[in-house]
Amino acid sequence: MNILITGAGRGLGLELARIALERGHAVVACVRDRSRPSEELRELAERYPGQARIETLDIVSEADAEKLAAKLREESFGLDALVNNAGVLLGRDGGIADLSMDDVRRTFEVNLFGPLAAAKHLTPLLRESESGADIVVNISSEAGSFAGAYGGDYPYALSKTALNMFSKQLNEELKLRGIRVLAVHPGWIRTDMGGDAAPLSAADSAKGIMRLIEGETVVPEDVFFVDYAGRPMPL
C-alpha cells in the first residue's frame, strides 16, 4: 500500500510511519518543512530508502496540500490510504470564562480545516479499483463524543466532534468510489499530547490502526467512529 500520513514527525504519526514501513508499505511522511524533519523521521527514511519519502505539508496550508497532490499526480503516485493525524491540544486550563478564542480558532484550523483541505486535494489520488483497502483515517478522540462530554477542553473537544461529522459526511460521499472513511480514537497514549501518565504506548496504538488500514480488523459498514482496536465508539 501507498500510505500518506500527516504529522509524521513525532508521536503517533511517527509510529504509524515506522510500523507501515516495517510491514513493507510505501510511506509519504508529511511534516511542516521537509528540509527540517525530526531526527527520528530522518533516520527512519534513511533506513528505508526508496520506500519512505518525506514531504512538506503544513496542515494549516491548503496551498501545501494542493502542491503535494500535484507533485504526486505528476509522478503517477497513487494512494491507498490517507491518514489525517496532525493535531493540537490547546486551551485546557480553566472554564468558559477563561477560554481563549485564539486557541479555538487555531485548534479548528489544525484539527478540522487541515483534514478538510488534505482530503479535498489528496482523496482524488486514492486508487479505488487498484486496491480493495482504500481508506481515509481521521485521527479523532473520545473527547469528540456527545455521550462522553465533560466540562472544559472546549477547543479540542469541539474540533474533534466536528471532525467526526466530517468523517461521516466524507464516508457517505467516498463509499460510492469504494473508499472507506473512519474516525479513529487512538486511545490515551504516551505522546507529547497525551503525557507520560497515559496507559497506552504510541506503538501499540499505531499497530491497531495499521490493522484497520490493512483491513485485518473489520469494521461493520454502518460504523464510522471506532477506537484503535476497531471497537465502536459512542457518538
Yes or no: say if 88 and 111 are a contact pair by the CB < 8 Å rule: yes
Angle in degrees, CA 176, 139, 217, rounded to 5: 65
H or E stretch at 200: none
Tell me how far apart the alpha carbons of residues 142 and 137 are, in angstroms, rounded to a whole number: 15
Q: 48, 150, 154, 156: which one is catalytic?
A: 154
Active site includes 48?
no
The CA angle 204-13-126, to the nearest 5 degrees, is: 110
Residues making up the chain, counted from first to last: 235
Strands 81-84 and 26-31: unpaired
Active-site positions read 154
